[in-house]
Chain A
Amino acid sequence: MDKNINLSITQINRTIWRIFLFLLSMAFLLIAFPYLKPIIFMLIISWILAIILNPIVDYGESVGINRALAIVIVMVLIVGGIAGIVALIVPAIMNAIDTLSGKMQSDFLKDLTAQLEAFFQKNFNNAALARDVIAKVNDLSANLLSNMGQFLQNASSFVAFIGIIPFVTFFLIKDLRFFKRLIIQQIPNKYFELALNILHKVGDQVTRYIQGQAIDALIVGILSVIGLGIINIVFGGPVPYFFFIGMMAGIANLIPYLGPLVGAIPAVVLTIMHGPQNLGTIVVWIAVVFALVQVIDNNIVSPMVVSKSVNMHPITVVIAVILGGNIAGVIGMLFAVPAWGIIKVVMKEVSWGLKSYKLR
Chain B
Amino acid sequence: MISPIWDIAFFKKKKDKGNIFQILENVPIFSDLDERELIEVEKIVHRRQYKKGEPIFRMGDPGLGMYIIVTGTVDIVEELQDENQKHIATLGHGAFFGDLALLDESPRSASAIAAVDCDIIGFFRPDLMDLLYRKPQLGIKILVALARVIGERLRRTNEQLSQIIREAETRENG
B interface majority secondary structure: mixed
| B50 A356 Cβ-Cβ under 8 A | no
A196 to B134, CA, bound (A): 20
Given the interface pairs A189-B54, A193-B57, the reply to whether A62 lies near B136 with Cβ below 8 Å is yes
- Whether, in the assembled complex, B126 has its beta carbon less than 8 Å from a beta carbon of chain A, the answer is yes
Contact A358 B60 (CB under 8 A): yes
> Which of chain B's residues 110-140 have a Cβ closer than 8 Å to chain A?
124, 126, 130, 133-136
A193 and B64 in contact, given A177-B44, A204-B126, A358-B58 (Cβ under 8 angstroms): yes
Question: Which residue of chain B has the shortest Cβ distance to A357 in the bound complex?
Answer: B61
B46 on interface, CB distance cutoff 8 Å:
yes
Verify B133–A58 contact, CB threshold 8 A.
Answer: yes
How many residue pairs link A and B with beta carbons under 8 A? The number is: 43
Distance of A360 Cα from B56 Cα, bound (Å): 12
Q: Does B62 contact A (CB under 8 A)?
A: yes
- Asked whether any CB of chain B lies closer than 8 Å to the CB of A200, the reply is yes
Determine whether the beta carbon of A62 is less than 8 Å from that of B58: no
B44 contact set on A, CB distance < 8 A: 177
Name the CB-closest residue of A to B136: A62
CA separation between A193 and B135, bound complex, in Å? 25
Q: How far is the CA of A189 from the CA of B44 in the complex (A)?
A: 18
> Which interface residue of A185, A192, A360 has the most chain B CB atoms within 10 A?
A192
* A63 vs chain B, min Cβ distance (A): 9
Q: List the B side residues contacting A181 at CB < 8 Å.
A: 46
Measured CA separation A189–B134 after assembly (Å): 29
Partner of B46, one of A58, A184, A197, A204: A184
Measured between beta carbons, the chain A residues less than 8 angstroms from B136 are 62
B54 partner residues in chain A, CB cutoff 8 A = 189-190
Query: Of the candidates B124, B130, B135, which one forms a contact with A196 in the assembled complex, judged by CB atoms under 8 Å apart?
Result: B124
Contacts of A192 in B (CB 8 A): 46, 48
CB distance from A345 to the nearest CB of B (A): 15
Minimal beta-carbon separation of B76 from chain A (angstroms): 16
Complex contacts, B36 vs chain A, CB 8 Å: none
Interface residues of chain A: helix, strand, loop or mixed (majority)? helix
Whether the Cβ atoms of B62 and A356 lie closer than 8 Å is yes
Q: Within the complex, what minimum Cβ distance (angstroms) separates B18 from chain A?
A: 20
Q: Which residues of A contact B46 (CB under 8 A)?
A: 181, 184-185, 192, 196
**Chain B residue total in the interface (Cβ 8 A):** 21
Bound CA span A196–B136, Å: 23
Min C-beta distance of B52 to chain A, whole Å? 12
* Contact between A357 and B62, CB atoms less than 8 A apart: yes
Contact B64 A196 (CB under 8 A): yes
Q: A204-B126, A356-B61, A357-B62 are in contact. Are A189 and B133 (CB under 8 A)?
A: no
Question: Counting CB contacts under 8 A, is B14 at the interface?
Answer: no
Residue of A nearest to B139 (CB): A62
Most B Cβ at <10 Å: residue of A62, A185, A360: A62
Binary per-residue interface labels of chain B (74-106) against chain A in the complex, 1 for a CB within 8 Å, 0 otherwise: 000000000000000000000000000000000
Looking at the assembled complex, report how far the CB atom of B141 sits from the nearest CB atom of chain A, in whole angstroms: 14
Contact with A along B19-62 (1 / 0, CB 8 A): 00000000000000000000000011010101000111110111
Q: When the two chains form their complex, are residues A58 and B61 in contact, meaning their CB atoms are under 8 A apart?
A: no
Beta-carbon contacts of A163-184 to B below 8 Å, as 1s and 0s? 0000000000000010001001
Give residues 187-246 of A contacting B (CB, 8 Å). 189-190, 192-193, 196-197, 200, 204
Give 26 A-B contacts (CB < 8 Å), ordered by A residue. A58-B133, A58-B134, A62-B133, A62-B134, A62-B135, A62-B136, A177-B43, A177-B130, A185-B46, A189-B48, A189-B50, A189-B54, A189-B56, A190-B54, A192-B46, A192-B48, A193-B57, A196-B46, A196-B64, A197-B62, A197-B64, A200-B124, A200-B126, A357-B62, A358-B58, A358-B60
10 additional A-B pairs beyond A357-B61, A357-B62, beta carbons within 8 Å, are A61-B135, A62-B133, A190-B54, A190-B55, A193-B57, A193-B61, A196-B126, A197-B64, A356-B62, A358-B60
- State the 8 A-B residue pairs at the shortest beta-carbon distance, nearest first: A200-B126, A358-B58, A61-B134, A58-B134, A356-B62, A193-B64, A357-B61, A197-B64
